Structure 1
Amino acid sequence: MGAARIVVVGTGYVGLTTGACLASLGHRVTCVDVDAAKVARLSAGRVDILEPGLSELVAHGLTGGTLSFVVRAREVVADADAVFLCVPTPMGAGGAADLRAVEDVVLAIADVLPSGCSVVTKSTVPVGTARRIRALLDRPDVPVVSNPEFLREGTAVSDFLGPDRIVVGSDTPGAAERVAELYAELDAPAVVTDAASAELVKYAANCFLAMKLSYVNSIAELCERFGADIESVTEGMGHDRRIGRSFLKPGPGWGGSCLPKDTSALLRMAESAGFGFGLLDAAIAENLAQRDRVIAKIARAVGGNLADARIGLLGLAFKAGTNDLRDSPALAVASVLCAHGAEVTAYDPAVAGEQPGMLVADSPYRVAKGADVVVVLTEWPEFRRLDWPYMAELMHGDTVVDTRNLLDPRTVLDAGLCWQGIGRPRATVGSATSVS
C-alpha cells in the first residue's frame, strides 16, 4: 500500500505517537481531539507530552503537510482509508475497562465512514470489542481491525518505529492484511490473526510483565531475609535465555497508565468467562504488598513512627523519562506517608505543581534539607550525580532508602550516610557489609 489517508482519534501518548509516526512513514494523517486548546497547541507544534523525539516528528509532519490536527472527527473521516481509535480506556466500575469513549466515537462517525474504510482499535480494549464495534457501526462494508500498541512511555517513538512485532487482527477477510501494509516501511514481523486473538495479545503481554515484576519483588524480599543480593540473583537468572534480563529490576511496585488497569481488566474478563485467574490475582496482591514493605522500610529508617517525620522523596513519576503520574507507585507511597502524618517534600525533574499533602520542591537539595530520611522512588539517572556529601550536610538523619537500587552504595557511604536498597545488604558507615 502506498500513502494512505489516516484519521487518528485521540492525541494522548498513543494517539499522538501513532499519528506522528504514521505521518513519518509517508501517510497523510489527521489527528482529532475534543480539546480545542490542545488542538491549537499541537497545530502550532507545541507538544505537552515528555517523549523523546515526538516534538521533532510532529514538527516535521506539520512542515511537510503530512500531519494536521482538528477538533471534529466527522469532518475528516469521509475520505479516510483507516480510522485509528486511540482514546482512553480507563479502569471502570469493578475493574473492567471503560469503553464509553470508544463507543462514543464509533457512534459519532458510523454514518459518514466511506465504504471499505477500516476502523482500527489501537487503544487497549477487552476481547470482544471488535464484535461490539461491528454491532454499533451496523456497516457490513466497514471492517473492524484490532491493532494493539506496545509503546513504553519514554521510548514510545523508538518502540513504534522499531517494534518487536506488529499485531493485527480482524474477522473480515483481507482487512488485517491491509492495515498491516500501513507498516510496510518497518522491519518487523507481522502477526496477522483474528480480532479476539489480537485483542488478547496486549493483555497477555502486559499481565505477564506485571507478574514478572511482582515475582522479582518477592525474590528481593527473600534476599533480604536470607542475606542474599538481588543483583547477583537476577544476573544469574538473566543469563537464562528462557527468562531474559528485562523486567528483573525490583522497585516500589509497578504502576503507570497500563499495567494496573490491564491486569484488572484481564481479571474481570477471566471472571466473565468463568475462569479464576489466581496467578494474576496473586501478582496484583503482591504488588500492593511490595508498597507496604517499602512504607515499613521507611518507617524503620525514622525510628518506627511516621507521624511528624520529615521525609524527602526523590521522584514522583511512575518511571524515569516521563512526567506521567497515573498510578505511580512513587505517588502511592508518598500518599501513604502523608496519611500517616509525615512531613513530605518531593522533587521530580519532570513534575511541577502541587500534589496533595506534600511540598513539591524545585531542587533535590531542598528535599534533603532537614530530612530524617531521603527516599529514591523513581530511577532518574541524575540522582546518581547529586552532590551526596552536600546532601548529607543538609539532612537531619543519616539514611537513604533507595527503592530502585539506583545509587552507588559506596558513594552514599563515603558521604557519611547509610544506604538501604531493595533485596540488597544494608550498607552502614563503618560496617563490614560489602557494597558494590
Structure 2
Amino acid sequence: MTGGFTGHLDASLLKFREPRETMPSGVTKPVIGFAGMTHLGLTSAVAVADLGFEVVGFAETEEEASRLGRGKLPVMEPDLPEMLSGNKKRLNFSAQVSDLGRADIVYISVDVPTDDEGQSDLTQIRALLDRVMPELGPDALLVILCQVPPGFTRALDFPTERLFYQVETLVFGRAIERARYPERYIVGCADATRPLPESYTALLGAFECPILPMRYESAELAKISINCCLVASVSTANTLAELCERIGADWSEIVPALKLDRRIGQYSYLTPGLGLSGGNLERDLATVIRFAEAKDTDAGVVEAWLTNSKWRKDWPFRTYRDLIRPMIRAAPRLAVLGLAYKENTHSLKNAPSLALLENLGGDAEIMAYDPVVQADALPELTHCESALEACREADVLFLTTPWPEFRKLNISRLAEVMRGRAVVDPYGLLDNSAARSMGFAHFVLGRPLGSD
C-alpha cells in the first residue's frame, strides 16, 4: 500500500498521552513478553515498554538478542531507535524461551510471510507456539498478535480462558506511531461476554483507547474487513483518478468534496497510488477469496480489486510506453528514484518499481537510487549514491516511491543534469508549475497532462 505517515511522532501526541505511571488501585503492573523480535514484535514491545511496563523480548538466537540489547535494529522505522534507547531499562532481550515464564502476558508476535499468491505461511507461528506454551506460568495469558486466518485461534490446544487474539496495528513506516497511539484494540475471546482478565485490562487500558472484545473468529475477520474497506477506497480513488486523466478533470480538486461528505469522511484514503503492495492487503484479499470458494459465497468484487490493482501498478510503464517512448531516441537512459514499495521501509514486496523494471526489460539503460534499499537486494541494477547522480544524462525520470527527500529535489538542478524532459511522477512529488516552467512533461496520477 502506498502513501502514509512520512514524519516523526507529533509532539502534540506525546503531550496528549503521558505514560501512566500507576495502575488502577490494587493492580500490580504485569510483565509483558513478546515471542518474536521481527518488525511486529519489536515495535510492539518498545511501545509497551514506553508505557512503563517491564518487557521480555524473546529472540531466536543469542546473536539477535545481543544486537537488540546494543540497540542494533533489524528494521527501519521512524522514532524506533529513540524509543528503544529511552526504554532500555525496561526491555530485556533473551534467546532463552524459559525467560518468558516470568511474564504475565505473552504475545506471539512474529511477522507472517506470504507467497506470490497471498497465502500465509503459518509454519513459524506454529513452531513458536510449540516452544512457548510449555514455558508459560499457570496463570499467564497467551495472545496471538500475528495475523492469522479465521478459525486459527480457537483451534489451538490451550485453555480458552487464558487465550486471546489481538488485531495488530502494524503499518510499515508508521509502526511506532500506530503501536504507541492505537485507535482502538480489537480482542478475540472464547466468550466475549466475560470481562477480560485484570492483567490484560491493565495493559490495554494504559493505552487509553477503546477496547472491543468479540469472539475469536470475528476479531480474526475484523482485520481483514478493515483492509477490504481500505482496498475499496483505494480502488475507487485509482479508478476515478485515471478517468480524470482522460477527461480533463483533476482528482485533487474532487477529494475535498468527498472528505466533507459524512458518509465518506475526512480520514478516507482517497490518494491514488500504484496498486496494492507490501503483501498484507493482498494476503487478506486472497483469504477472503479462498473462504468464499470454500463456503460457496460470492467474492467477485474482491477479485475485481486485485485486477484493478494490477492495472494501476502498470501505470508508469503504460505512460512511458504510450506517451514518452515514441518521442525519444533508441536505447534511452532512464532514472528510477525509489525502489521500496513505500516510504519509510526497505521492503520490496510487490513494489511498483519491480513491475516497472520487469516491463522495461532490456529496452533501456537504467540508473536507480533508493535511500534505504541496499544494492544487493537488486544486484542486476546500476545503483547510484544520490538522486541527482541517478538522473545524470537521463532521458526520463520515474519517481516510484514517495520518499520525503524526493519532494525536495531542485527542479532547476534536474533540468541541468537530465538530457530529456519527461518525469513520470505518480504521487505528484515535484511542483507541477515549476516542472512545466522548466520544460518538463510532468505526468501525475489523476491529473491530465498540462494542468496546474
Q: TM-score, normalised by structure 1?
A: 0.90
Aligned counterparts, 1:20-169, within 5 A: 20-62=46-88, 64=89, 66-73=90-97, 75-92=98-115, 95-133=118-156, 135=157, 139-140=158-159, 143-169=162-188
Give 3-state SS (helix, strand or coil) of 1:221's partner: helix
Of 373, 397, 419, which residue of structure 2 is paired with 1:396? 419
Relative to 1, partners in 2 of residues 1:88 and 1:160: Cα closer, same or farther, differing over 3 Å? closer
- Cα displacement (A) at 1:30: 1.0
Aligned to 2:36: 10
Rounded to whole Å, the distance in 1 between the matches of 2:199 and 2:101 is: 19
Aligned counterparts, 1:316-331, within 5 A: 316-331=339-354
Rounded to whole Å, the distance in 2 between the matches of 1:418 and 1:295 is: 15
1:31-86 C-alpha deviation (Å, 9 max, x unpaired): 11214433221111122322122112212222x2x11111232x112222111011
Rounded to whole Å, the distance in 2 between the matches of 1:376 and 1:127 is: 38
Aligned counterparts, 1:259-408, within 5 A: 259-299=281-321, 300-303=323-326, 308-337=331-360, 339-354=361-376, 355-408=378-431
Rounded to whole Å, the distance in 2 between the matches of 1:315 and 1:363 is: 11
Q: Which moved more, 1:345-354 or 1:193-202?
A: 345-354
1:401-429 C-alpha deviation (Å, 9 max, x unpaired): 111122211111222212111120212xx
Is 1:256 matched up with 2:278?
Answer: yes
Q: Does the Cα contact within 8 Å between 2:56 and 2:103 map onto a contact in 1?
A: no
- Cα displacement (A) at 1:265: 2.4
Greater RCO (Cα-Cα under 8 Å, separation 6 or more) = 2
Q: Does the Cα contact within 8 Å between 1:389 and 1:416 map onto a contact in 2?
A: no
- Counting aligned pairs with the same residue, the percent is 31
Q: Does the Cα contact within 8 Å between 1:317 and 1:328 map onto a contact in 2?
A: yes
Rounded to whole Å, the distance in 2 between the matches of 1:168 and 1:184 is: 13
- Cα displacement (A) at 1:8: 0.4
Aligned to 1:212: 233
Q: Does the Cα contact within 8 Å between 2:204 and 2:211 map onto a contact in 1?
A: no
Aligned to 2:207: 186
Relative to 1, partners in 2 of residues 1:295 and 1:130: Cα closer, same or farther, differing over 3 Å? same
Give 3-state SS (helix, strand or coil) of 1:312's partner: strand
Rounded to whole Å, the distance in 2 between the matches of 1:176 and 1:238 is: 40
Q: Does the Cα contact within 8 Å between 1:30 and 1:67 map onto a contact in 2?
A: yes
Rounded to whole Å, the distance in 2 between the matches of 1:141 and 1:290 is: 44
Aligned partner letter, 2:83: L
Relative to 1, partners in 2 of residues 1:92 and 1:394: Cα closer, same or farther, differing over 3 Å? closer
Q: Which runs of 5+ in 2 are unaligned?
A: 1-26
Q: How many residue pairs are counted as aligned between the two chains? A: 421
Relative to 1, partners in 2 of residues 1:56 and 1:362: Cα closer, same or farther, differing over 3 Å? same
1:184-235 C-alpha deviation (Å, 9 max, x unpaired): 1222111111111111111111122122112211111111121111111222
- Cα displacement (A) at 1:384: 2.2
- Cα displacement (A) at 1:331: 3.0
Q: Does the Cα contact within 8 Å between 2:58 and 2:100 map onto a contact in 1?
A: no
Q: Does the Cα contact within 8 Å between 2:56 and 2:91 map onto a contact in 1?
A: yes
Give 3-state SS (helix, strand or coil) of 1:416's partner: coil
Q: Does the Cα contact within 8 Å between 2:29 and 2:202 map onto a contact in 1?
A: no
Rounded to whole Å, the distance in 2 between the matches of 1:165 and 1:419 is: 41
Rounded to whole Å, the distance in 2 between the matches of 1:272 and 1:92 is: 20
Q: TM-score, normalised by structure 2?
A: 0.87
Q: Does the Cα contact within 8 Å between 1:343 and 1:358 map onto a contact in 2?
A: no
CA-atom RMSD in angstroms: 2.2
Give 3-state SS (helix, strand or coil) of 1:303's partner: helix
Rounded to whole Å, the distance in 2 between the matches of 1:375 and 1:421 is: 11
Rounded to whole Å, the distance in 1 between the matches of 2:330 and 2:163 is: 55
Give 3-state SS (helix, strand or coil) of 2:46's partner: helix
Aligned partner letter, 2:109: C
Rounded to whole Å, the distance in 1 between the matches of 2:62 and 2:161 is: 29
Relative to 1, partners in 2 of residues 1:67 and 1:257: Cα closer, same or farther, differing over 3 Å? farther
Relative to 1, partners in 2 of residues 1:334 and 1:244: Cα closer, same or farther, differing over 3 Å? farther
1:272-295 C-alpha deviation (Å, 9 max, x unpaired): 322231111111110001122321
Q: Does the Cα contact within 8 Å between 1:143 and 1:175 map onto a contact in 2?
A: no
Aligned partner letter, 2:282: P
